[in-house]
Amino acid sequence: MCGIAALQIRNAELRERLGQLMHGMLCEIVDRGPDSAGLALYGSDRLTPDGTSTVTVLETGLAAEELAEALTSALPEGADVTVTDYAESTLINARTAPAVLEATVMGVLPGVHIVGRGEHVAVLKGVGHPVELAEVYRLTATSGVQGLSHTRMATESAVTAGGAHPFTVSEDLCLVHNGSFSNHATIRRRLRRLGVEFDSENDSEVGARYVAWRMSQGADLKTALEDLGREFDGFYTLVVTTADSMAVVRDPIACKPAIIAETDDWVAMASEYRALAGLPGIEDARIFEPTPGVVYTWNVSAPVADLTVAEGATR
């Protein structure tokens, strides 16, 4: 049993409150996963300043100042590197392309575990009580466009920061999972034969790698998740986010809970309604359980439209 809470904000006037609203949602799913927790926060002026790329690493073995100096020396002049420790997560920002920053980090820290990458998302995760971790991450002081959180009760792999969700295996693409994939080992072997590399034995990472692989082949997010539904056995609720989109899908027999609420200002998903109850305007929101096996997607810049639950939706 794990907890998921996600929020996409369309009303620009509410974006200063992203962290505050996410904190309220997170507090209501703690008992679903007290082992560890993670956050993916998009569009934060503090965590992902405009014009920078962001990489999150675990267990660097270096002080922040020492790592910043090493990266500054290895990157082109003007990269303006900053390194900030958030307990087990170390956030690195630099004015360079994401792939360049990631390659440089790997060169300076061979074998380091990279758990976040992109231009728009900051990933922070670790072991411990989720609310205490949120304080370390200064969640309530964070603005942004979109947030994704997960509280974990481990079933398929060890309780580690690396095994915590979200899994961010390509730029700005994050996945969280409540449930278990029964054929993850088979799919992992197949993806490895195709050249896909893995960081852990976590079944959820296999889902993230599969979605990223399908999208690298040209599939959009909705199609990649529909393909996952045909390939993966098990039970799951998944939420996947990109720089401007959010998607939700449940397994065909809906073993794991999910509830969605949307207004003209925002769309939110959580494992339980209580995580949505404190959102502004919830009393007027359109609230529903996602249909099993249907992929729902929303884009942060698209207007809210009528939704036929039986058919799913793309915003």
Catalytic annotation, residues:
2
| Listed residue (138, 50, 42, 46) closest to 86, CA to CA | 138
Q: For 168, phi and psi rounded to 5 degrees? A: -120, 95
Cα(166)–Cα(154) distance, integer angstroms: 13
Beta strands in 100-207 (DSSP E): 113-118, 121-127, 146-152, 167-170, 173-181
**308: which 2 tokens?**
């036929």
Buried b (16+ CB within 10 A) or exposed e, 118-128: bbbbbbbbbbb
Buried b (16+ CB within 10 A) or exposed e, 50-70: eebbbbbbbebebeeeebbeb
